[in-house]
Amino acid sequence: MKLHGVHVPHMKNTAECKGVRMPVPAAVTIPMAMHIGKPAKLIVKKGDTVKLGQLIGEADGFVSSNIHSSVSGTVQKVDEMVSSMGAKVPCAVIASDGKQELYEGIKPPEPTDFDSFISAVKLSGVVGLGGAGFPSFVKLSVKELSKIEHVVINAAECEPYITSDTRTMMDKGEYVFKGIEAIKKYLGAKHFVIGIENNKKEAISRMKELSAKTEGVEVHVLPSMYPQGGEKVLVFNTVNRVIPKGGLPLDVGVIVINVTTLAFIAEYLETGIPLVEKCVTVDGSAVKEPKNIIVPIGTPIKDLIEAAGGLKADPAKVLYGGPMMGLTVPSMDEPVLKNTNAIVVMDKNEAKQHKTTPCIRCGACLNHCPFRLNPRDIAHAYKMGDGEALKKLCVDLCMECGCCSYICPANRPLVQTNKLAKIKLREYLAEQKAQQEKEGK
Amino acid sequence: MEKLILSVSPHISGKRTTQSIMLDVIIALIPAAIASVVFFGIRSLLVICVCIATCMLSEFLFEKLCKRENTVLDLSSAVTGMILAFNLPVTIPLWQAIFGSVVAIIVVKQLFGGIGQNFANPAIAARIVMMTAFSGTMTAWVAPNAINKAVDALSTATPLVAESKGETPPSYLTLLLGTHAGCIGETCAAALILGGLYLILRGVISWHTPAAFIAVVAIMSFICGKDALYQVLSGGLLLGAFFMATDYSTTPSTKWGKIIFGIGCGLITILIRFWGNLPEGVSFSILLMNILTPYISKLTQNKPLVGEAKV
Ligand code: SF4
Ligand code: SF4
């Protein structure tokens, strides 16, 4: 069996561009929610002086994450902002003094066992850097370590434009393998697979070269067929297992970790410097000099774009992430987040889409969905308000990868409909449950 | 600064549009259209143009009247017109061609909700209506070039009918080239195969339906002691298998659905050709399978990749 997908343009224009550090921005805006889970608790106030790497937001609850200052300077104000996920969250605006003085408390964590390793990962503030933003320490806190059969390292980077993971492999290859050693040591995992799309020849040979020196690491070359980097797709294509609906990779004995996240963890174990900067691909038709830029978290997008030579055309659409799954940004003042791996700025032409026309029942959507869903029928069931049909059509399985919308000749907004249909299904199931409970009484 | 666009992902889309798909179908039909002009004379071009124009105009006016979004630019009505014309004899009176086109677009397509909503292939349904209404003119096939020579062209039997009438059937080469009697666009097997392959290579249609359809006709003919190649090359089989049994709205979307659809078409075609009273069974077989399409689709749905927990 093969999973379907679509061929998207690669546009990996920046694959050769080693990350360059940009000048320190005048101020950064750091929201307390750059991860999935509960927002962190803001622990600084207006007027406080902070140093680079100093804790400013404390993980609150189990699924949450620490947040650190990405500059040295003074807290200008504490405010509220709408996060990329749509909720209102507190944020700190820090004016930088340009010195980037490191916080005195920083020292390498030196873990000795599983527990101290997990708490080190927690302290570092790292979250899934491939875009998911799930706190990494939660993912690595595996209760039964013997269950882990494979660790799949996600280096597919299947989104157009983005090359930041490629740069991790090229520039920080040793750290990827140090990360592997750490997981081996503290989680006892033995078998590692690095999944890379075949359009990254140099990264593949670099990883192969390094894996030859390490036991139990396999480099798995994937076809360039979007979405190889989708967690379920990757696990299926590398170790041939199907993560059950609503389940986790661990249900089939697998841990999936993004390659940049892994390299960061290894680097953190050496330096003790928490997650305060990101290597971000800046590209898109409106960007003058597309490149990879190492940027302090919280830097306004406009400063980042300035560092990429500015714009050559009026921006029509700005994205956090790539064009297949990226989120649109309402303004250039929005900050770079922990899980931002690319900023894509599209000009008018690139942002233009075909007109939406009636569905011609061509079947392209359902024949390209990696999960074999039927977006055409889902759209119909949603329109009819048929919760039972949505349940049968498994709309809750949809990962919103965008293959269906991308391939639809009528340019139907299928992903959008699926999102709405998921909400509808949740309501329907809740209603059904309430009904059953009532009858039970 | 201008406002930035906010929208749900994805932010890029593939190149193909409904219009480009329909344009590809038109391109694929052009070789057969050229062949028809060469063999049957310029009147075949006239019939084709009249059908296309009537179809597009009917679509335009009907949608205007119903205040529906206008879809005439997606070219699907032009494709319907072209395919309908291909299914008519070159001698067809123009008013009948116009009537057929109006039936195809308004009755079969628009009254069911327009593109993507109709259950029957408009060209086929219209052809069948015309067969019933104008059985005389609809079967007035002429030999190639006859129309140029004499105004009152003599009707000639098509290859499928020739056999039953005891006439010498045309050779394979004649069938391949299309220099025999028949409807405008169905005689030149070579041109139809060329067009069909073009659509398959462009990914507009998948090979499953035509392959199943043609294979079943060939195998069943062989089993029934008929000349398999002759059966495949004659009549409307190739036109039907490549261009009408692959219509999106009226046929299943999944691989197995398409295969079942093709097999069904093949079996019904054989049934009608060998044991029925009609001269040709392709149109009827596709129409009957169109009716079964919702059931086939249901049976051959893709199973979502749900997986099960591993212990
Ligand atoms: S791809 Fe678009 S036009 Fe084709 S069946 Fe799906 S929704 Fe309809
Ligand atoms: S239905 Fe969901 S999972 Fe399937 S292609 Fe569309 S967005 Fe991707």
Question: Which of A328, A350, A366 is the closest to B4 by Cβ?
Answer: A328
Q: Say what the pLDDT of residue B188 is.
A: 92
End-to-end Cα distance, chain A: 46
**Within a domain: residue A370?**
yes
Among candidate residues A155, A108, A151, A148, the one with its CA nearest the CA of residue A129: A155
Of A150-164, A247-261, B71-85, B156-170, the poorest mean pLDDT is in B156-170
End-to-end Cα distance, chain B: 57
Task: Determine the residue of A360, A378, A405 to mutate for testing ligand 1's pocket, defined as the one with the most ligand atoms within 8 A of the Cβ atom.
Answer: A360
Contact A137, A129 (CB under 8 A): no
Q: How confident is the model at residue B170 (pLDDT cuts 50, 70, 90)?
A: confident
Among candidate residues A241, A234, A242, the one with its CA nearest the CA of residue A401: A234
**Within a domain: residue B272?**
yes
Q: Say what the pLDDT of residue A407 is.
A: 97
| Nearest ligand to the C-alpha atom of residue A377 | 1
Q: Test B304 with A358 for CB contact under 8 angstroms.
A: no
Residues of B in contact with A393 (CB under 8 A): 304
Question: Which of A353, A361, A400 is the closest to B13 by Cβ?
Answer: A353
Chain A nearest-CA residue for B306: A245
Phi, psi of A2 (to 5 degrees): -125, 140
Q: How confident is the model at residue B277 (pLDDT cuts 50, 70, 90)?
A: confident
Tell me the pairing of strands A73-82 and A49-50. antiparallel
Q: Is B4 on the interface with A (CB under 8 A)?
A: yes
Q: Say what the pLDDT of residue B167 is.
A: 65
Residue nearest to atom 2 of ligand 1 (CA): A408
* Domain of residue A144, CATH code: 3.40.50.11540
Distance in Å, alpha carbon of B222 to nearest chain A alpha carbon: 34
> How many whole angstroms separate alpha carbon A350 and alpha carbon A287?
12
Residues of chain A with pLDDT under 70: 441
Q: Test A361 with B7 for CB contact under 8 angstroms.
A: no
> In this structure, are A240 and A388 located in the same domain?
no
**Within a domain: residue B11?**
no
Q: How confident is the model at residue B234 (pLDDT cuts 50, 70, 90)?
A: confident
- DSSP assignments along A389-433, one per residue: HHHHTTGGG-----HHHHH-TT---HHHHHHHHHHHHHHHHHHHH
**Within a domain: residue B306?**
no
Phi, psi of B95 (to 5 degrees): -65, -30
pLDDT at B150 over 50: no
Q: Is B225 on the interface with A (CB under 8 A)?
A: no
Of A232, A253, A271, the position where a domain reaches its end is A271
pLDDT digits (tens, 9 = 90+) for A178-232: 999 999 999 999 999 999 999 999 999 999 999 999 999 999 999 999 999 999 9
> How many whole angstroms separate alpha carbon B244 and alpha carbon B25?
11
Q: Say what the pLDDT of residue B159 is.
A: 73
Q: Is B15 on the interface with A (CB under 8 A)?
A: no
**Within a domain: residue B309?**
no
Q: Which two tokens stand for residue B28?
A: 């694929």
Q: Which two tokens stand for residue A3?
A: 């999973």
- Give the dihedral sign, CA A95/A98/A103/A104: negative
* Domain of residue B57, CATH code: 1.10.3430
Q: How confident is the model at residue B172 (pLDDT cuts 50, 70, 90)?
A: confident
pLDDT digits (tens, 9 = 90+) for B237-274: 999 999 999 999 999 999 999 999 999 999 999 999 99
Contact B250, B261 (CB under 8 A): no
> How many whole angstroms separate alpha carbon A369 and alpha carbon A104?
51
**Within a domain: residue B104?**
yes
Phi, psi of B52 (to 5 degrees): -60, -50
Q: How many domains does chain B divide into? A: 1
**Within a domain: residue A258?**
yes
> In this structure, are A373 and A246 located in the same domain?
no
Locate tokens 């875009």: which residue? Answer: A131
Locate tokens 């329907």: which residue? Answer: A428
Q: Which residues pair with A6 in a beta bridge?
A: A226
Run of H or E including A328: strand A327-328
Decide: residue A434, CB within 10 A, 0-12 exposed, 13-18 middle, 19+ buried: exposed
**Within a domain: residue A48?**
no
**Within a domain: residue A24?**
no
**Within a domain: residue A146?**
yes
SS3 A294: strand
pLDDT at B147 over 80: no
pLDDT digits (tens, 9 = 90+) for B88-142: 999 999 999 999 999 999 999 999 999 999 999 999 999 999 999 998 888 888 7
Domain that holds residue A197: 114-271
**Within a domain: residue A264?**
yes
Of A218, A250, A271, the position where a domain reaches its end is A271
Q: How far is CA A134 from CA A12, A138, A250, B275, in A?
A: 26, 8, 15, 67
Domain that holds residue B35: 18-297
Q: Test A160 with B12 for CB contact under 8 angstroms.
A: yes
Distance in Å, alpha carbon of B114 to nearest chain A alpha carbon: 9
Q: How many domains does chain A divide into? A: 2
Q: What mean pLDDT do residues B227-232 have?
A: 91
Chains A, B: CB contacts within 8 A come to 162
Contact B194, B219 (CB under 8 A): no
**Within a domain: residue B6?**
no
Residue nearest to atom 8 of ligand 1 (CA): A359
Residues of B in contact with A9 (CB under 8 A): 12
Contact A131, A321 (CB under 8 A): yes
> In this structure, are A252 and A119 located in the same domain?
yes
Q: How confident is the model at residue B163 (pLDDT cuts 50, 70, 90)?
A: low
> In this structure, are A265 and A132 located in the same domain?
yes
Q: Test B4 with A253 for CB contact under 8 angstroms.
A: no
For all residues of chain B together, what is the average pLDDT?
90
Whether the link from the prior residue into A227 is cis, omega within 30° of 0, is yes
**Within a domain: residue B9?**
no
Question: What angle do helix axes A201-211 and A164-171 make, rounded to 10 degrees?
Answer: 40
Longest dimension (CA), chain A: 67
Q: Which two tokens stand for residue A210?
A: 């390094």
Q: Say what the pLDDT of residue A82 is.
A: 85
**Within a domain: residue B39?**
yes
> In this structure, are A266 and A383 located in the same domain?
no
Of A224, A247, A271, the position where a domain reaches its end is A271
Locate tokens 């093969």: which residue? Answer: A2
